[in-house]
Amino acid sequence: MGQRIVHAVSAALALCMVMLCAGEAVRADALTPALNPLTPSDTQDMPPDNQNTPQAKAPVPTGVRPRCTVAAIVEDIGTNDTYLGRTRFIAPEPPAAGQPAICPAGAAQEAVRRTLEACKQHASNPYNCVYGDMDHLFDVTTDMVDTSAVDSQCPSYSSKFIGIACQPGDAEDVCNVACGASATEATEAAQRKCRASHDGECAITNAVPVQPP
């Protein structure tokens, strides 16, 4: 079984989307992924706070609000390079004690978009950058429409690791992405998706933490 080399990229752009950051710029980190698995914790998903209840928390100053992270994977099919982008967002509400911070609406789309743009900045041909999760038609079309943005990302409030599994092709590799509570879980989930979508063992794999190490 081979290991997929994952390149960390900076998705930092001079942009603040009001729906995401409410006046504070979204921060994207350029971080080298830790390839040694971290010990996952048993955190669970937290539903958004209900601001209409008496128990709703008082607003927290922007500077001390917790952050959530979305990790996204894109592929340069011209070089078969895999790019990882981690983008941190200000949580819209403070989490309950012991619970992870929930990302704001639209965070997943923005994180994947930034990672794709970062790939295009590195690639010799920006049109070779596609989302890392590919369906069975991509084997034939190599068209970005046959890749999935939503399935190429993992948020920190529900996942500890993001994994990738790839099958070598005649010209470009075909890959799938999955999330998991551990590196093994994320890798095995990505392999199951890859085997179901593509013809092969999908033995080229890797998994890295969603959160920066």
Contact indicator for 83, 71 with CB cutoff of 8 Å: no
Mean pLDDT of 8-33: 31
Residue 143 has pLDDT above 70, yes or no: yes
Mean pLDDT of 53-76: 67
For residue 51, is it within any domain?
A: no
Phi/psi of residue 72, nearest 5 degrees: -135, 150
Residue 8 has pLDDT above 70, yes or no: no
For residue 61, is it within any domain?
A: no
For residue 60, is it within any domain?
A: no
Q: What is the CA radius of gyration of the chain?
A: 17
Q: Under 8 Å CB-to-CB from 38, ≥6 apart: which residues? A: 160, 209, 213
Q: What is d(CA 85, CA 73) in angstroms, rounded to the nearest whole number? A: 7
Structure confidence at residue 3 as a pLDDT band (50, 70, 90): low
Q: What is d(CA 45, CA 43) in angstroms, rounded to the nearest whole number? A: 7
Structure confidence at residue 174 as a pLDDT band (50, 70, 90): very high
56-71 burial code (b ≥16 CB/10 A, e <16): eeeeeeeeebeebbbb
Structure confidence at residue 39 as a pLDDT band (50, 70, 90): very low
For residue 45, is it within any domain?
A: no
Contact indicator for 177, 151 with CB cutoff of 8 Å: yes
Residue 60 has pLDDT above 90, yes or no: no
pLDDT number for residue 63: 53
Select the more confidently predicted residue: 212 or 213.
212
DSSP state of 131: E
Contact indicator for 68, 89 with CB cutoff of 8 Å: yes
Residue range(s) defining the domain that contains residue 160: 2-38+66-209
For residue 22, is it within any domain?
A: yes
Residue 24 has pLDDT above 70, yes or no: no
Output the average pLDDT for the chain: 75
pLDDT number for residue 1: 59
pLDDT number for residue 95: 82
Beta bridge partners of residue 133, listed in sequence order = 148
For residue 48, is it within any domain?
A: no
For residue 49, is it within any domain?
A: no
Contact indicator for 91, 101 with CB cutoff of 8 Å: yes
Residue 66 has pLDDT above 80, yes or no: yes
pLDDT number for residue 77: 92
The number of folded domains in the chain is: 1
For residue 52, is it within any domain?
A: no
